[in-house]
Amino acid sequence: MAQSTMVENPLLVGLPEEKRPEPFALVIFGAHGDLTKRKLLPALYALYVQDLLPESFAILGTSRTQMSDDQFRDAMRESVSKYSEDIELEKASWDSFAKSLFYRAGDSTDLDAYKLLSKTLDELKSSRGTMGNHIFYLSTSPSLYVPIITRLAESGLAFKRKINEPAWPRVVVEKPFGHNLSSSIELDSILHDALREHQIYRIDHYLGKETVQNIMCFRFANSIFEPIWTREFVDHIQITGAETIGVEERGPYYEEAGASRDMIQNHLMQLVALVAMEPPISLDPESTRDERVKVLKAIRPFDPDTIDDFAVRGQYGEGFVLGNRVKRYRDEDRVSPESNTDTFAALKLFIDNWRWAGVPFYLRSGKRLAKRVTEIAIQFRKPPQKLFEEMGGAALRLAKSENPNVLVMRIQPDDGISLRFATKQPGPTTQIRALTMDFRYGTAFGSRTPSAYERLILDSLIGDPSLFARSDFVEASWRLIDPLLEHWSKTMPGKSSRHGTQLNHRPFPNYESGSWGPAESHELLALCGHEWREL
């Protein structure tokens, strides 16, 4: 195998030999699609050049497109060259890697296609030494998940293993895991008809991001932070997932999903769970996933009569993003000119348990916002300011209102952690000034940060489900979000039906591209005396 030219490989640190991947054959459904080209093959190649794949493996792509093995290899080489951000494609390494790439065209709804796949996998077992260890990656439209799982079971390629047996075969499922609660439960039932839970890997790429993985370590490995990670010291928590891009070529998908399904129900709920969870009894996969599920089950359900006091939606109009004029959502390709799909969603949540009682969690996510940033901000309570009253004027106002201690975990871009605190400004008088201590992964460790898909693909090959969504987590998340989606489906934008404090809900579009979302999202926080962070 070609050796990496890198001095240090972060994924190898702490990885015992028995946790290295066994020989395998990875079947990618939708191998001609965008996800495979942009993420999966670049990640697999990166794992290969870092010596993280076994000597014996095979990658078998399949889709409707007719291609030979060599044509598939050429297409994937082009994709890896184009989309690998920090792993250089070298001819010798690629030529060696490409020997493990194969392709079979077929209709994923046709049982005959699975007979061809089964025959090919048998051949690869002999020629490539894959030992019959099969992992099936569903990189397709969600509408094909059920047909693929059903055909895998009918063809004998997917079958149940006992809990204490190795989890081969495995299936990796991309989000969304259903469109609502009922469809999620239906998909889950079909998956469990074919496989056991320990053979199912529901992938949420946010869990593979380095800063997200660091949340548990930051909290539970530092005695200075965990004691104050409670309602006694935390005023509120803000979680932001902001994008400057629009829907690009994903109009039909986004019309069905919206920001609430695309981001809130999965990515941001995972972040809430990691920030709010109790310490697990151990680092084994099920203990950590148990604690994440407990958080979701403790979130206060939405009350239909007051739901608009806790949730705001928006849709972008025309505006300027990064200096360029952009069109409104309703003018995007393959989007209805009368669409009421949300491109922005903001929620106010309360976790009704001992640790977080009374602490609001604010979530927001949107397209065409002012800046691309994903972060978690823990704002601590302000100290009594009696001591500084003698300063008076602007200095006192600064001490009182502009200097809360804020701990920020930046997930993207510029992954890192910062802490803001107050200090005395040098001089003959007492003047308070806010300063920030800042840590960034890139500069602190001096090594590349593995992509989320590198980590998650490696974990799926090893058989470690820690960073994947478990069945009960997905269901708990949908149970929380489903009433909101149902309410929004019955209430047109601009026509709120609630009886609580009235916000000025406006028809779509209700925020300019390049802004920070609709005014109602700011009013949502103002009801509790808070405001969104300036990013």
pLDDT in tens, 21-61: 999 999 999 999 999 999 999 999 999 999 999 999 999 99
pLDDT at 2: 42
530 carries an active-site annotation: no
Lowest mean pLDDT segment, chosen from 83-92, 260-269, 498-507, 518-527: 498-507
pLDDT at 213: 87
Assign 15 a pLDDT band (cuts: 50, 70, 90): low
| Per-residue tokens: 55 | 């000597």
pLDDT at 387: 63
Give the Cβ contact number of residue 272 at 10 Å. Answer: 24
Residue 389 has pLDDT above 80, yes or no: no
pLDDT at 153: 97
Between 391 and 249, the higher pLDDT residue? 249
pLDDT at 3: 41
User: What is the maximum span of the chain, computed from C-alpha positions, in angstroms?
Assistant: 84
pTM over 0.85: yes
* Average pLDDT, rounded, for the chain: 89
| Per-residue tokens: 190 | 């079909």
Q: What is the DSSP letter of 302?
A: P
Q: Where are the alpha helices (DSSP H) in 322-470?
A: 393-401, 441-445, 452-462
Q: Domain boundaries in the chain?
A: 10-203, 208-445+470-526
* Beta-strand relationship, 406-412 and 416-424: antiparallel
Beta bridge partners of 369: 515
**Class of domain 10-203 as given by CATH:** alpha beta
**Location of structure tokens 């969104």:** 532
Those residues whose C-beta lies under 8 Å from the C-beta of residue 88, and which sit 6 or more positions away, are none
Lowest mean pLDDT segment, chosen from 233-247, 435-449, 515-529: 435-449
* Beta-strand relationship, 416-424 and 432-440: antiparallel
Lowest mean pLDDT segment, chosen from 76-85, 231-240, 436-445: 436-445
| Per-residue tokens: 464 | 């470690």
pLDDT at 18: 52
Q: What is the DSSP letter of 266?
A: I
| Per-residue tokens: 277 | 């969870």
Residue 408 has pLDDT above 70, yes or no: yes
* Beta-strand relationship, 316-321 and 511-513: parallel
pLDDT at 431: 72
Assign 393 a pLDDT band (cuts: 50, 70, 90): low
Distance CA(114)–CA(150), nearest Å, equals 11
Mean pLDDT, range 514-525, rounded to an integer: 95
Assign 444 a pLDDT band (cuts: 50, 70, 90): confident
pLDDT at 426: 82
Distance CA(514)–CA(243), nearest Å, equals 10
pLDDT at 8: 47
Distance CA(240)–CA(346), nearest Å, equals 9
Residue 13 has pLDDT above 80, yes or no: no
Task: Report which of 94, 19, 81, 83 is spatially closest to residue 52, judged by C-alpha positions.
Answer: 19
pLDDT at 1: 43
Lowest mean pLDDT segment, chosen from 57-66, 234-243, 421-430: 421-430
Beta bridge partners of 440: 416
Q: What is the pLDDT of residues 323-382, one digit of tens each?
A: 999 999 999 999 999 999 999 999 999 999 999 999 999 999 999 999 999 999 999 998
Assign 499 a pLDDT band (cuts: 50, 70, 90): very low
Q: What angle do CA 449, 534, 332 make, to 5 degrees?
A: 75
Task: Report which of 424, 425, 421 is spatially closest to residue 408, judged by C-alpha positions.
Answer: 421
pLDDT at 14: 46
pLDDT at 6: 41
Beta bridge partners of 345: 313, 365
Superfamily of chain region 208-445+470-526: Dihydrodipicolinate Reductase; domain 2 (3.30.360.10)
Mean pLDDT, range 439-443, rounded to an integer: 80
Task: Report which of 257, 397, 277, 263 is spatially closest to residue 341, judged by C-alpha positions.
Answer: 257
Q: What is the pLDDT of residues 101-159, one digit of tens each?
A: 999 999 999 999 999 999 999 999 999 999 999 999 999 989 999 999 999 999 999 99
pLDDT at 441: 77
Helices 269-276 and 210-220: crossing angle, nearest 10°? 20
Residue 4 has pLDDT above 50, yes or no: no
Mean pLDDT, range 266-280, rounded to an integer: 95
Q: Among residues 32, 205, 236, 267, which one is catalytic?
A: 267
pLDDT at 371: 95
Q: What is the pLDDT of residues 459-489, one digit of tens each?
A: 999 999 999 999 999 999 999 999 999 999 9
Give the Cβ contact number of residue 330 at 10 Å. Answer: 17
Mean pLDDT, range 496-521, rounded to an integer: 78
Q: For the chain, give me the number of helices (H) and strands (E)?
A: 16, 17
Residue 187 has pLDDT above 60, yes or no: yes
Q: What is the pLDDT of residues 451-460, one digit of tens each?
A: 899 999 999 9
Q: Residue 42: which H helix or E strand, with range?
A: helix 41-49
pLDDT at 391: 59
